[in-house]
A = this chain, B = another copy of it.
Amino acid sequence: MHFTSETSSDGVCEQLFTLGEIPGVLWTPVGAVGARPLILMGHGGGQHKKAPGIVARARRFVAGCGFAVVAVDVPGHGDRPMDEEYNRIATENQTRVDAGEEPAPLIAGFQALVARQTIPEWQAVLDAVQQLEHVGAGPVGYWGVSLGCGLGVPFVAAEHRVRAAVLGLGGALASAEAAARITVPVEFLLQWDDERVPRAQSLALFEALASPEKTLHANPGKHGEIPAFELDSTLRFFARHLG
């Protein structure tokens, strides 16, 4: 794990790093000492580790709760090179959608493929980050919607360090089977007028989660329009389960 830069503002320290070929960013409270809860955040499709929605939430988790937060670029995103195979499949899928095919099953298949790579990558990131003195081996949470949900559901199902997860904007096609292996508390965000994920598919994914404590928050609006007050709720959710 190599740190390449460190800046801080408003009490939040931001460190860019690479772990092998994975570029990442770690946010911690300025002057943090000792173990603390850690949130791994998965970004959306076409986004990257420092997308505005990731940075804003990460800074709140650090400043509001004293947590550490880590995010890395998904293969083919951000500072990572274009992935030839993923690119070929994405182009092929786009052609099939343009020809009238339903996008949901194609997206699901693609996300399942990428997840086979991101699960071990994200586990390696947790391993490395939890060895840092100012992060330590505290409880872990996961936050990810859209692509971050499609990749997050199989990750949370596989990784037993994760004790609570915020997921959403994703459907059952991608991950119902993995969802049925998740038993930790989940806050699930659904946009009532989501133009990308059919409502019934989202409800089915919430239904599929095996977690005894799971809570669905549905709000009017399109895929990208999660209301600001949900961040307050997310903060309290993580504080309740990891704090």
Contact = CB atoms under 8 A, between A and B. Distances in A.
Interface of A: 190, 192, 203, 206-207, 212-220, 227, 229, 232-233, 236, 240
Nearest 5 Cβ contacts at the A-B interface: A216-B218, A215-B219, A217-B217, A214-B220, A215-B217
Nearest to A190: B216
B227 A220 contact: no
B213 A227 contact: yes
Which secondary structure dominates where chain A touches chain B?
A: mixed
Nearest to A211: B220
Contacts of A219: 213-216
Most central of A206, A218, A219, A240 by chain B CB within 10 Å: A218
Contacts of A214: 219-220
Contact of A240 (B218, B229, B236): B229
Contacts of A232: 236
A192 B220 CA distance: 19
A218 B215 contact: yes
Given A206-B218, A213-B220, 13 more contacts: A190-B216, A192-B216, A203-B203, A214-B219, A215-B218, A215-B227, A216-B216, A216-B218, A216-B219, A217-B217, A218-B218, A229-B240, A233-B233
